[in-house]
Homo-oligomer: A and B are copies of this chain.
Amino acid sequence: MDNNEFDNVMSGIGDEAPDAVFGKHDMKENIENVSPAVIKRLPRYHRFLRELLKCGKLRISSTELSKLMGVTASQIRQDLNCFGGFGQQGYGYNVKYLYGKLNELLGAEEAYGAIIVGSGNLGRALASSHMFENRGVMRLAMFDVDENVVGSEISGLTVYHTDMLDEYCRSHHVDIAVITTPLEAAEPLARTLEAAGVRGIWNFANVELKAQGEGTSVMNMCMGDALMTLCYEIKEKENSGR
Contact = CB atoms under 8 A, between A and B. Distances in A.
A240 interface: yes
A135 B230 CA distance: 11
A10 interface: no
A227 B81 CA distance: 23
Contacts of A221: 223, 226
A112 B234 contact: yes
A231 B31 CA distance: 15
Interface string A220-242: 01111111111111111111110
Interface stretch (A15-23, A93-101, A124-132, A142-150): A124-132
B121 A3 contact: no
A9 interface: no
Interface residues of A, number: 69
Interface in A110-129: 110, 112, 120-122, 124-125, 128
B208 A137 contact: no
Interface stretch (A35-43, A57-65, A71-79, A164-172): A35-43
A28 to B, nearest CB: 12
B43 A224 contact: yes
Contacts of A134: 224
A230 B219 contact: yes
A234 B128 contact: no
Interface in A78-106: 105-106
A230 B210 contact: no
A230 B239 CA distance: 37
Given A121-B121, A125-B121, A135 B228 contact: yes
B234 A105 contact: no
Contacts of A207: 4-5
Interface of A: 2-5, 31-32, 39-40, 42-44, 46-47, 105-108, 110, 112, 120-122, 124-125, 128, 130-132, 134-135, 137, 175-176, 183-184, 187-188, 199-200, 202, 206-208, 210, 214-215, 217, 219, 221-241
